[in-house]
Each structure stands twice: as C-alpha cells, then as structure tokens.
Structure 1
C-alpha cells in the first residue's frame, strides 16, 4: 500500500539517500523521508479503516437482512470431518502451554476440560497445580481418546473426583423431573413438607424453588457472621445479640442441623420467602427444600435417590456425596489450604456432589441425547424461567442461560449456552450444553483461585469449539441437502444453496413452469429483490430420521432496525398459507444413505428428486 514515486516505494527512496549521502546528511533532511512515509502510512491506515467500516456495515446489514425463526440455523454436525484448531488446548504432552501460563491462576490450579460434539470427545485436557499430589509428569502417552495430555503418578485427573459445588443443582432438579409421578412442578412445597408454615409457603411451588424465584434467601444459617470466630458486631455498628442461633449448619463440617432444627429455621419469620415469583434471587436453601421433598416422595435418603435415578442408569460410577476416603482418588487441598471438603449434610442437594470429569461428560451427553428425559421433557427443562437486566443472560431451573452474540459463526445471531456454574472454597466447575451444535462441555477446577480459572477458561473453550462446529455444520449441510431437486416432465424444480445467511437459501423455485417465489412475493406485497425464502430445521425430533421435516420462512429483507427489533417477528410468521389443508411452508427430505435423495413439497403435493 506504500505510495510509489517513479516506480520506487518511499522506503526504497529513503534507503537510496542513506547509501548515497550517508546517514548524517540523510538525518539532516529527515523530513524528506519521514514526512512522505508518515503521509503514506496515514493514507494507508485511513483506507484500511474505511474498508473495515464498509465491511462492518455490510455485516450489520446482513444481520439485519434476515430474521430466522427460533432454534438452530442448521442441523448439528453428525461427525466432524476435520481436526479443530483448539489452541491452547491442543498440544503435545511435553510442550509447555505458554498461552495458559500467562494467567495468574495457572500454576496454582488443577483443572480438567472435556468437550464433545455428539459422542466424539474433541477436548480432553488436564493440568495439575505445581506441588500437588497430582502434579503432571511429562510422558509420551496419550489418553484413551487419542488426544495428547498428561499422565499422573496416581489416578489420571480425568478419573479423579472434584467437588462440583452448585452444578449439583442440575442433579437435584433432574431427580424432581424424573419423579413426576409423585412430585408435580406446580405442587406447593407444603404438599411434600406439611410442617412448613402454610401462610408463608402455601404459594411457593416446586418450580419456583427450582427456578430461583421462591423468594427465599441464600444460605440460612450457613455463613452467618455470628459463627465467624472473632467477629465483632460493633465494627459494623451492631449490638451484641444475647440469643444466638443454633450451632448447626454453620459451614461444611460443622454440626448438621436435625430435621426439626431445619424446619424451625424455615418457619422463623426472618427466613420466610418474600414475594414468590417476583424475580430471581439465588437460593441454596431452596434446594435444601427440594431435597427434603424428594426424600418424602421416595422414602429414602437424598444420595440414594440420585444414585438410583441418575448415576446407575447412565453409568456414573465415580460420583458420590461422600467425602473421599482415599486421598489419591480426589483433588484435595494442600497443607494449610481451607477448602470445602467435608460432607455438606443438609446442603447436599445444593452443592455437595463429588464427580470426575469423565462422569460429568457422560452426564451432559446423556442430557443432550435424551437418555433420562424425553426430547420434549428436555426442551421444556431448558426453557428460561425469568429474565435479568442484561440482554445476554436468562435464568432457568437451575440453568444459567448465556446468549453471546460475538461468537464466530457465519450467520451472526445469539447462540444459547445452557450453563451451570458451581463454586465453593477451593473448587469451581462449569457444566455447559449447546444443543444447536450438540456440544457438551465440562470444566472442573481446584485451587485457591479456581473461581477465576473457570471464568477465563469458559470462552477459551466455547469460542473455537462453536466456530468449528458451525463450520462443520455448514459443510455437512452442503453435502447432505444443497443442490437442485427437480421433476423434468413437469418443469418443476427447487434449488437450495448455502450462503452467508442463516439456514439454507432457496435460490429458485418453480412448479409446473410457474415461478413460485415471484408469486409468493406478491402475496407478501414484496418484490423479488426484497423477498427471501429460506429453509430451517424447525422439527428437531425428525432430524436423522429417514424423513426430515423442515420449514420455509418467507421473509422480507429489512435494511433498517426498528424499535426493540419489532420488525423481526419470525416466531409469528410460520404456517402463513395452506391449500386444501396442507401447509405451503413445509417440506420433507427423504434420504438415501447419508444424503437427501428427494424433497416433498407438502402444499404442492409434489416430490422432486435430487440431481445426481
């Protein structure tokens, strides 16, 4: 981009002056060189800046041009065709991980990251903190997955227990959903724990407890300042209380409250719920009540319920609520560190589970692939329960739903991440589902700064994994669906292509020599230049079946945004026209092996064959 004079770049001319007149004389007339270079460089930067502005505006216009329906843009990749570039998680066992070493927490944190698309594990990464009993030993070995990693002197970290803290809440709610014959989502908690004060708890439902909208506080007795040795209330302007709390459930490892003491706490006015269903307030003691309701329904201890309903059916053989008895089987604190290791007692339903990274990935894949709940029940569970004052987060039961818009996907849009974070002293974890791409991610960490570690690690995993999955989904769609489908004798055809927009573009569509797109555009009072017809996989239950049902979205391009994006109402545009009872926006792919062989245009009662 440098400007040229008589065929020479400005840098070449300056070098000529140096060689001909020497450095001194050249420096005496520095401005001869520097001014043109500065001007040339400045012009170059202006041009580059303008190009970037144009590209960004085009990208913004492309994003505004389409309004895809809720759900995935394309089916998830069945089997990734390439190896993903997962730096900093893709390395040889003997190579130092310099990119992660830059983080302050790296040396002192033991962590494992596992991630998969479908049943294929793509990330299987382990790091042991310096000086820990699981300190990594460089080895040429690789893990059973075939991916490089570390071997350890004891149990491999992938088979070593970490406390997963509040990720336990997923298991508690799942157990409730699996107990639907005895526990209803809209049941009042007083139905299952009748000792609770009916006036205060009569309208607190199982669903409100699970979705963090019960109005209950966070901890109950746990963490109360009166339990902290040496705490002086005068420092906060408070007087000394002469009637102390019961000395139970002060912290993990303290005396566990009896059932009677627990109920006394919940029935004390200081702990009553406030305005149930008003909005989310994170509550651990809400999950204590869910655990008690489960025990009442099943007449057995909470840990046995989780074992019978979840661990045993899917083979989670290394997960437990018991404090590990064998030091080598778990990541435990180094000498002097105060980590939350003892049994959680009444708080087990809120955060007491120990599990291995391998078990956690098995659990997340079981959710994605409906091994415990049906597809309908799973989708219902993933729905948000309340909103937050941010555009990118929603609250589920107990899902913490993230909706980032800056991920590297071809058709820019929010991507739903169904996450659950957990954190107690010494341990932090993340469980993540991304159903659109069939992605499961487990992050387990232990260390004094493990909470900072998982927050930094999450985007390092999600961003490249989603970008890779999006690329693979597009490659798969090109092979599996794109092309021209026709019936030559009737002069009918439809052509499907993949462009930079969401779903698949219908670039031409004619039946019996009639230009269908043009006629449908007129029904929408739009010209063909403003009209868009795109296919989306809106019936996920049919995917990977011999017949897949997709929906055409008849859309009009919209170059300008409107108040609250009110011009994007695609969820309200489906099934716009029918003829003699059959929908014009529905098509059915039929397969021959891995590829679509034909497409049925349901409303036209016509089937077109794919060109070979």
Structure 2
C-alpha cells in the first residue's frame, strides 16, 4: 500500500513540486532551553512588553487588572512576566493593591483542566472508554420501555463514557443548576440579563423580567422550584453522544464524582494530595481564600470572588496565581506527576469543531496557528464573574503562557491579551529553537579515512527542520541517488529536512528525515493539497532500516559529536 501512495504522489505534475511545505506534525527542532537567557527571546520579550503597554495606553485593555507569564518546562522560573493593576483596585478597600506573580485570581473553567490532570495521575486515559455509570451508579436510571425508546427526552446514560464527558461530547446541557448570589444588586435590565447569561443559568428565574422581551410566561407547573436549594434535574440530552462537542459544566461536575470514586477520597483532598502539595502551589486552593491575597474588582460579591459554586467546583471552583499556573503548565509539559506516554495521549485532539483552526481535547481547546508554521496551542480558558483566564501550552516548544484577568469585559480582554502574546511568542520560540538547533547540530560531519569518503552538511533556513544540504556516501552524491530512486530529475524538487522524532536516550537523540516533500498548487483542494509526509516517510528502507532514521551522539552539553544515517551503517564525526 505504501508503494501505491508513492506512485500516486509521484504522478503529480512537476509544476506542483516545491521544496517547502510538508513537515511532519510536531516539533521542527528540539525544544529551546535556557529561554530566559536567550538573546533572541529577550529581544522579543521587550517587544511584548512594549505591545502590552501600548494596549493599556491606547485603551485596548480598559478597566482590568491582569498578570501574564511565559514559561518553559526547561526552567523552574518564568521567562517573562507582566503585571498591571487597574486604578480602582489600587484605591480599593478589599484585596491587593498591586498585582504581582503571587496575586490570586479565580481561574474558572481552567479548573476542568486541573480535574483532568488529576485523572492523568490516576492512569488517566485508561478510563476514557468506560461508562460513567460504572463509577456513578446513581446515573443508572430505571426507564420505562417507552422512555428507553425516547432518545430526545431521556439521556441514555449507558451510552456515555468518561472520555465523552471529558471532551464535551456527552450531549449534556451546559449546567444543571445555577444560583444567583442574593447580595448581587445591579441597576438596569441589560446588566441583569448579562449577569444571568454570564452565570449560564436558567432564564426562568427571571421570567417576569423577560416577558417584556418576547418570552412567554411560564405555566405554574413549569415554574422553577429547583436551583436555589437543590439541583434542577434535567434529563433531556441536546445531542447523541459523540455527535458534536457541546460545552458542559455539568459534565465536569459528574467527572468530579467519578474522580472521587476512583481516588476513594473527596475531590478537595485529591486536589490537595495529588496536585497542590506535590507541586508546592502555595497560592492555589478550592475554598475561597483570604481576600487580602487576591485581586478583587469592586467588591467580593459583585466580582463573584466570594461565590461558592458548590458541586460544580471540579468545573470552575479553583483559585490560583500566575506563578502557580506557570508551575502547573510546566508540570503538564514535563510529565512531572504523570507517565510521559499518558501525557502524549492526553495532548491530542478528540473532536473537530466547525472551525478548521479549533479542535477539542479533554478538555483542551486546541488552536492551530499557521505562522511561521503549523503550531497547535493546547489551551483552556475560564470565566466566572469578573474573572477570566487562560493557559496556553505549546508541546512543540515545551513552553507556554498564562493570562489572568480581573475586571470588566474580562473574557474579551483575556482573548485580546492572548492573541498579543501568541503572535509574538510563538514565532520567537521557533526562532530560538532553530538558532539553538543550528548551534548544537549544524556543520559538517565527515569520515575520509581509508577507502571511505562520506560526509553530511547540516544547515538551517526559514522553514521547518534542519536541512541536509550535502550528503555524500562512499564518494557518491546521495541526494542524486535519492532523486533516481524517487524518479525526480529536478534537484530543486527534493529536500531533506531533519525533525526530532521524540526518541532520545542519555547521550543520543533521534531525528527523522522528510526526504522528499511535494506540495500541491496553492488553489488545490483538501485531497490533492494534503501533506503526504506522514504516509511516505518510511517508504525507503535499506536492510530493514529506514533511510529517514538519523541519530546524533551528544556530549555532556547536549551538542552533537557525531551523526549516523542509520541505514548506511556509518558514523560520521563532527568536523
């Protein structure tokens, strides 16, 4: 089958061939190290500081306090920090007067990510295909035969898996309950409506208010009696399982119960024992913390700082700081408390959305950036009251950033700040990684003793991966040999680019060579225009070893001392 694909690709016209464009998905270079000390990153950090200050001054980020950190799993401190305090907070009567790296914020739905991290510490993804009712037997409802056939009005819990809850594919409603704090007092109708909508609650609580907006009055037997003292019991699904992602806080409330069943302890105890204490997260908690440690716009009730969300705590109840969020991010990237194989399975898309640049994981919100190359950012956002936050991880770079915001229009402000940071930091991370890779691996590797005359020269350009610009084996030009094997006559149509495979052992690191890349015309459709690198990568094999397999030997500083194109059974010392 592999040779069939080779023939298919080679059948494309010569005009369609370019040497840029089809790297393997994943890191283009080894992840950068010592990020905070790198001059390239320092230059871009200054640019980021300037952009954030400019956005504050021109009113793009009004009426908010916020904290930003950029971090790498290769360092135990953040590579960049920026903190801003809104004037009313500086003069306020409650909370901190100056936001810094240890200031506590509500992180809202980022709590879902912490909940799933707790699952990962308990062997994680092994539970994803199990029915949720196995661990929460209360969900096993006794339906009548008629109800069992009614797929519209009765959720079939026997079909719902833990993985579907984790990736918002259980068909559940967004929330089962919502309590509007009795101390909240907002003046006009529009603000009241916004508060209800922001709370993801049932508009039936304000049916008298909404009748003037076209909503009918509720019959007496449908007026809400639940929600203030006990949850509303909503049985009807929105879709079948695995039909489409539909965001659900209720699903993560149930996942909290699953976690308690598996961990044999209360959610808060599991959170403390398996995450907060091991990572020494001194500014993170589930219970409402001392207000003097947090940023609180206006007051505790209006900001929702003091609001206890009860059973939905696993979905949105955690408080944290920029420093602790960065520590959490580093722990995810470096598999500090989790087996690396589990982390790799977890950091993957589970479902698409209707946006080509937005996928869904468990519970990752995955955004694809196409500049300077494809980079998938694994993120989670959170909103509650006047707080909004995000954490954004780039597994390609073992790095990420976090944004914590308190104030008006906080969700939009978090998105704006996140775009500013990503637009500067992602290209900077690639540039740093390329520069460091060229220093560690670039140059000529040669063996000219005896009858052997073999050499490889490694360079880099603006595209993904290290470039094999010269390759000679036993005095023969290997690039021309590969052209002959592939039926290519135009030397500019062949490219050999090395990307890290992810396999390494002390003193050695493996790379894979995308030996022959073909791009389709810019106006090609998704079938002709797709990258075939992942299909064709190992199509050339010699003596049961693939031609793409390259291995570097490293010294104690991580710099290459020799290079082995494994299929050719030779080791070339670095000149």
Matched, 1:523 2:488: no
Greater relative contact order: 1 or 2 (C-alpha under 8 angstroms, separation 6 or more)? 2
Question: Structure 1 length as normaliser, TM-score?
Answer: 0.78
Query: Aligned residue for 1:12?
Result: none
Query: Aligned residue for 1:393?
Result: 358
What CA distance in whole angstroms lies between the structure 1 residues aligned with 2:239 and 2:115? Answer: 23
* Correspondence 1:66-215 to 2 at 5 A: 66-80=21-35, 81-82=38-39, 83-87=42-46, 89-90=48-49, 97-106=53-62, 108-117=63-72, 118-119=74-75, 120-133=77-90, 157-180=100-123, 184-197=127-140, 200-215=156-171
- Give the one of 563, 569, 572 matched to 1:605: 569
Query: Aligned residue for 1:418?
Result: 378
What CA distance in whole angstroms lies between the structure 2 residues aligned with 1:555 and 1:96? Answer: 42
User: Which has the greater radius of gyration?
Assistant: 1
Give the SS at the match of 2:109: helix
Give the SS at the match of 2:571: strand
| 2:19–2:494 Cα contact (<8 Å) kept | no
| 2:104–2:321 Cα contact (<8 Å) kept | yes
Closer, same or farther: CA 465–556 of 1 in aligned 2, 3 Å:
closer
Unmatched 5+ residue regions in structure 2? 1-15, 142-147, 149-155, 179-200
- Give the one of 343, 359, 373 matched to 2:338: 373
Q: Would you say how many aligned residue pairs link Structure 1 and Structure 2?
A: 512
Matched, 1:534 2:496: yes
What CA distance in whole angstroms lies between the structure 1 residues aligned with 2:569 and 2:220? Answer: 82
| 2:295–2:406 Cα contact (<8 Å) kept | yes
Give the SS at the match of 1:158: coil
| 1:192–1:293 Cα contact (<8 Å) kept | yes
CA displacement at 1:238 relative to structure 2: 1.9
Query: Aligned residue for 1:548?
Result: 509
* Correspondence 1:101-500 to 2 at 5 A: 101-106=57-62, 108-117=63-72, 118-119=74-75, 120-133=77-90, 157-180=100-123, 184-197=127-140, 200-222=156-178, 223-228=201-206, 230-233=208-211, 235-243=213-221, 247=225, 249-250=227-228, 255=229, 257=230, 265=233, 268-270=234-236, 272=237, 274-324=239-289, 326-335=290-299, 338-341=302-305, 342-405=307-370, 407=371, 409=372, 413-489=373-449, 490-500=452-462
Unmatched 5+ residue regions in structure 1? 1-60, 136-151
* Correspondence 1:570-609 to 2 at 5 A: 570-594=533-557, 595-609=559-573
**What are the superposed Cα offsets for residues 560-606 of structure 1, whole Å, 9 maximum, x if unpaired?**
24321535211111211222222222011001233211011211111
CA displacement at 1:483 relative to structure 2: 1.0
| 2:132–2:162 Cα contact (<8 Å) kept | yes
Give every structure 1 segment of 4 or more consecutive aligned residues whose post-TM-superposition deviation is greater than 6 Å.
Answer: 61-64
Closer, same or farther: CA 293–337 of 1 in aligned 2, 3 Å:
closer
CA displacement at 1:446 relative to structure 2: 0.5
What CA distance in whole angstroms lies between the structure 1 residues aligned with 2:169 and 2:315? Answer: 15
What CA distance in whole angstroms lies between the structure 2 residues aligned with 1:495 and 1:353? Answer: 52
CA displacement at 1:549 relative to structure 2: 0.5
Give the SS at the match of 2:369: coil
| 1:134–1:157 Cα contact (<8 Å) kept | no
Closer, same or farther: CA 246–305 of 1 in aligned 2, 3 Å:
farther
CA displacement at 1:89 relative to structure 2: 4.6
CA displacement at 1:69 relative to structure 2: 1.1
